[in-house]
Structure 1
Amino acid sequence: MNEQELVKQTAKHVEALFSGEGSGHDWWHIRRVWQNALKIGQQEKADLLIVQLGALLHDIADWKFHGGDEEAGPREAAKWLRSLQAPEHIITKVCQIIREVSYKGAGVDTEPSTLEAAVVQDADRLDAIGAIGVGRAFAYGGHKNREMYNPHIMPQLHASFEEYKKNSGPTINHFYEKLFLLKDRLNTSTGLQMAEERNNFMKQFVRQFLAEWHPEEDIPESFHV
Structure 2
Amino acid sequence: MFQRVSSRTSRVSLLRTRAAVITVGLGASVALGAGVAAAADAPSAAPAAGIVQAQSVVQAKAAKVTVVEQAKVQAAAKKAAAKKATAKKAAAKKKISWIDPVRKYTLTASFNQAGSLWHAKHSGQDFAVPSGTPVMAAHGGTVVKAGGNGGGDGPAYGNAIVIKHGGGTYSQYAHLSRIDVRVGQIVKTGQRIALSGDTGNTTGPHLHFEIRTTPNYGSAIDPVKFLRAKGVHV
TM-score normalised by L of structure 2: 0.18
Considering only CA atoms, is the larger Rg found in Structure 1 or Structure 2? 2
Higher strand share: 2
Higher helix share: 1
| Higher RCO (CA-CA < 8 Å; seq separation 6+) | 1
